[in-house]
Amino acid sequence: MGPRHWYLKGEGKTCMPKGKQHFDDLIAYWRAMPKEGGLVPPKTAFSPMKVYKVLPSLFFSERLEKYNIRLRLMGEALEIASRSSLPGRNAFDTISRVNWDRVEAYYDALTTQPCGGHMARSMSLENGLVYDVESIVMPLNDSQGKPRFFIGLADLQHNRDKSVLAQQGDYDTDSCFDLGYFDLGYGVPKAQEDQLVKQVNKNG
């Protein structure tokens, strides 16, 4: 029996991304990577050619310090969809400050207890357009064995209706911002699992 997949979304609603074969493919690749005696594979074990089918939607990032996660690699499909060049930028630049602490805690959880992360949100870029973004992310160790790097996939779609509303000042991108975790074989953050179990029991 494979590891459980826990996912917490919004106010305790449970779901997992459906119909995301490329997400499943990257998760399977991560789990097959050599761990070198630890729980998290090293960045040096990552080979783009082994996941060439998902490269257009792949991103690679590095956590430098608090509120600073640099995008080191961004797939061509993501750059085309966003109509902008994101590599080299701080991922927090695309997040409203009101959500910075939530996202910082999210990355703390991903590295403290190795697990995968899932994010679904709206994002506004400098071009004035609003995009619906769904992504997964998983940690990779640096040369010192610290989970400082992240590999992930993102689906990014321009939302015309939200863009029009945003340009009129009638849409708040913070109204759509969900974070969750999924099990890579070592569980998920305890607080998240407890909240999910309570919700499942309540609904059952």
pTM: 0.76
Task: From 52, 48, 43, select the one nearest 147 (Cα to Cα).
Answer: 43
Q: CB–CB of 78/57 below 8 Å? A: yes
**pLDDT one-digit tens code per residue, 95-123:** 888 888 988 999 998 988 889 998 888 77
Q: Which CATH architecture group holds 24-196?
A: 2-Layer Sandwich (3.30)
Sign of CA dihedral 34, 35, 37, 42: positive
Q: How many CB atoms lie within 10 A of CB 48?
A: 12
**pLDDT one-digit tens code per residue, 32-77:** 999 877 889 999 999 888 888 888 889 999 999 999 999 888 887 7
What is the Cα–Cα distance from 170 to 172, expressed in whole angstroms?
7
